[in-house]
Amino acid sequence: MKTELLSADAQKSKSKDTAFRYAELSRLFSLIWPFRRSVFFGLCATLIYVGLHTFSLAAAFPVFKVLLEKEGLDGWIDREVVSSRLGIDVASISMDDDSKEIVVSHVHHGSPAANADVLPLDVWVAPDGQTMAECMHSIARSDSETISLQIKSTKTGTLRTTPVPLGALDRKTNALLWGRGLLPDNAARSPLDLLKYILAALIVVVVLANVFRYFGEIWIASAVLRSMMSLRATLYAHTLHLPVSYFSEQSTSDTVTRFIQDIQEVQRGMLTLFGKFIREPLRAVFILALAFVFDWRITLAMVVVAPLTVIIFWSVGRSVKKANRKLLQAYGKMIGALTTCFQNLRVVKAYTAEDLEHDRLRLVDRYMFRQQLKLAKLQAFTSPMIETLAVIAASFATVWLASRVVSKDIDTSRFAALGVILASLFDPLRKLTDVYVRVQRSTAGLERIFHILQQPIEQQSDDVGTSLQPLSKSIDYIDVSFTYPGADQPALCDINLTIAQGETLAFVGPNGCGKTTLVSLLSRFFDPDAGKILYDGIDLREANLSTLRGQVSLVSQDAVVFEGTPIENITYGAIDSTMDEVEKAAQRAHADAFIRSLPGAYSASLGERGTTLSGGQRQRLAIARAIFRNAPLLIFDEATSQIDAESELDIQQALQEYARERTTIIIAHRLSTIQFASRIVVMDKGRILDTGTHEVLFDRCPLYRTLCETQLVSASS
């Protein structure tokens, strides 16, 4: 694997345990907890759906009774009720059978029939004028506490009449009578009519079940999507408050991927978790309970499949999580490559580097392909494997059930119903394979998101640190040293410098000498490794960060223009503003004229990164933003590098006037930019070589003289 395709945090986590952990599951639940009401309604609807779905499966049995057996549904209900109340087992009888007697095949110990000395193989004889089917029907519907049975003994051959107390109806027989009571009485006369009523009821149940399923999924989706909005907002707020040092170690594209691809993975996982992950096990439990009602031995199939299923889930889940983490990292690399290429497309074309960029992206794409193929293989493996195990177990169970049909231990309709239940029982298990893979993929994304959320942020609360007022005395750098994270050489070494209030100070020096780093420490984008910076005697580490940065107007080396209008860019970060203030700031930055020439003037759309503006226009807009803020400390970092000489002269005049009552720090390569500074600081290799006016430094500082004769002079010519 190519290490350059991994982000910094990814390389640290390569050896992490990839198993599903309870901590990760608790994170998923913590995200959804604020929206628990919607989840509760969704789960309740899901529970109702599962119950109705299971009930619809149970309807297979009466359908098979009507279609496959002469006894019919009414005859079977009568026989079940009589058997329960008397404690005996008898064979089935067709409703149109004229038989007047039936053999008692089994007598349950302690039952009313057993207490009346009824023995197995005794013959039960119907009263005169009734068939055996009519006799059973009258007993099943009888309200009497005791009935008279005519029993012919197999030992003596004598016929006797014996009173037998009827046992109480149990839950099963009560449920059967209640269910039969829902059907019209005349339906018993025609099996086809009865089948129509049963199927009509089944359709109603299925429709209701799917209505509840629909609302359950909608409620859960609403909760999950809102939780993702909340997570994205939390992640964005946290990322905005991370120190700049974090982004010097972490690639921006990888961070952006966590907002898009990682959260998308978490969203899919949570929809699956609170949808299928709950619904399918519930279905399995309900169907299993139904199977218990029909025959408890059906659980033998589960005993065979369940342990193997768990082992497959566990082993596949580890690999899925690991592969998906690598895939998400590759997405970050791809976003970075695409963004860099498209933002610098003119340079790419100018250097005819299209093939180079294409090859670079193809390298990332191939790595993504390997991870995606690995995930596809894992997902393709689990479902067929579980289905194969299910078929094997179902085959053994079917043979076993068929043997019981042959031995007349169960009837044909019960065998058919158990077959339907058995097939339905393995359907949720098969679906759970995809569910577990999806949840594991989401935990990989969640892990990367929480890596950011666990990073310490800058403390900007009003009650943290000493609030700073506008500078009244000085800013003092005392023995300040700083090294960028991961760098071999320090950017600043033993800096000692005092900047007086109201002073205009210019920094010059070769590229990479530490000029920008020095002012970055002033805004606390970084903290010194050694030494301290005092603001009116207050250590910046002890200052309130919000009030510190509120003292600064910054024009950075790269003229930053946000997508929006000139008004939104000039007033960026301001709460209240007037149009008059905006126009005055633009006029002082010599931006008013070009802004008014835009379609829509101050309300014109500038496009992403100000792509509709020239480099000089972007810089003047950034300068207008700094002037509008009207902060007591003004920092210009290479702020006029892309402005023509005429515009620069106008801006310099405005700057001299604007800087008159402010402390101003200027970093520039142009001599014209720094000549009006009251003091110039010369830097090289992270150290201050000399300070003074232009005339003094030109005479005594060789580096400054060289800069003036090369970079500074040539830039101004």
Confidence (pLDDT) at 18: 42
- Return the number of other C-beta atoms located less than 10 Å from residue 252's C-beta: 13
Which residues have a Cβ under 8 Å from the Cβ of 566 and sit 6 or more positions away?
582, 586, 591, 595, 598, 601, 602, 603, 604, 606, 621
CA separation for the pair 568, 560 (Å, rounded): 13
- Return the number of other C-beta atoms located less than 10 Å from residue 447's C-beta: 23
The HSE-up count of residue 91 (CA atoms within 13 Å, CB side) is 15
- Return the number of other C-beta atoms located less than 10 Å from residue 144's C-beta: 10
CB burial of residue 695 (10 Å; 0-12, 13-18, 19+): exposed
CATH code, 3-37+214-453: 1.20.1560.10
Confidence (pLDDT) at 386: 63
Confidence (pLDDT) at 6: 35
CA separation for the pair 51, 57 (Å, rounded): 10
Confidence (pLDDT) at 340: 64
CA separation for the pair 294, 417 (Å, rounded): 9
3-state SS, 274-339, equals CCHHHHHHHHHHHHHHHHHHHCHHHHHHHHHHHHHHHHHHHHHHHHHHHHHHHHHHHHHHHHHHHH
CA separation for the pair 253, 8 (Å, rounded): 12
Axis crossing angle, helix 263-273 with helix 412-453, rounded to the nearest 10: 150
CA-based nearest residue to 248, from 542, 563, 530, 517:
517
Confidence (pLDDT) at 11: 40
CA separation for the pair 52, 205 (Å, rounded): 6
Which token pair is 590?
């010599």
Contact 318, 382 (CB under 8 A): no
Domain residues of the chain, as ranges?
3-37+214-453
Contact 302, 69 (CB under 8 A): no
Q: Which residues in the chain come in under a pLDDT of 50?
A: 1-20, 187, 713-717
Contact 438, 272 (CB under 8 A): yes
What Rg, from alpha-carbon coordinates, does the chain have? 42
DSSP 404-447: HHHTTSS-HHHHHHHHHHHHHHHHHHHHHHHHHHHHHHHHHHHH
Strand 663-667 versus strand 504-508 pairing type: parallel
- Return the number of other C-beta atoms located less than 10 Å from residue 224's C-beta: 27
- Return the number of other C-beta atoms located less than 10 Å from residue 506's C-beta: 22
Tokens 């690598």, residue located: 326
pLDDT in tens, 447-500: 778 888 888 877 655 566 788 888 888 999 999 999 987 788 888 999 899 999
CA separation for the pair 509, 495 (Å, rounded): 15
CA separation for the pair 613, 251 (Å, rounded): 27
